[in-house]
């Protein structure tokens, strides 16, 4: 979160303020369950359900760049890549998203 790594154990909580750059993953091979609350919720649940469906449709792997960009474009109110400023990524994601939509990718 904002460049700091944190490892959470069972029962621990983490509050991520709005607009804070963050990423998360399960470093273990064991299944992990968590309770995620987003306030206000907006379309966060739809975002995660869409990504989950794409991963399942892609044999358990993240979708290709064009398909992912199409979904990112649709959910830009919910999710932004932290790798670069939005103004720098938007043109490339727009072009990739157009390719994904031409290939039939709709969320």
CA distances from 91 to 17, 22, 70 (A): 27, 23, 12
Question: How many other CB atoms are there within 10 angstroms of residue 75's CB atom?
Answer: 19
- Helix-strand-coil percent breakdown of the chain, rounded to 5? 40, 0, 60
Environment class of 72 (CB within 10 Å of its CB; exposed 0-12, middle 13-18, buried 19+)? buried
* Cβ-contact 42, 74 below 8 angstroms: no
Give the pLDDT band of residue 26 (cuts 50, 70, 90): confident
pLDDT one-digit tens code per residue, 87-97 = 666 666 666 66
Q: Show Cβ contacts of residue 74 under 8 Å, excluding neighbours closer than 6 positions.
A: 107
Lowest mean pLDDT, pick from 4-8, 45-49, 84-88: 84-88
pTM, whole model, 2 decimals?
0.61
Give the tokens for residue 28. Answer: 């273990």
């Amino acid at each position: 979160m904002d460049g700091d790594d944190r490892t959470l154990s069972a029962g621990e909580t983490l509050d991520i303020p709005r607009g804070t750059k963050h990423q998360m993953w399960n470093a273990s091979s064991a299944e992990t369950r968590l309770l995620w609350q987003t306030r206000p919720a907006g379309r966060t649940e739809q975002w995660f359900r869409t990504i989950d469906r794409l991963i399942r449709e892609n044999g358990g792997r993240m979708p290709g760049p064009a398909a992912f960009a199409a979904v990112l474009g649709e959910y830009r109110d919910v999710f932004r890549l932290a790798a670069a400023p939005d103004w720098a990524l938007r043109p490339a994601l727009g072009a990739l998203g157009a390719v994904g939509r031409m290939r039939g990718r709709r969320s």
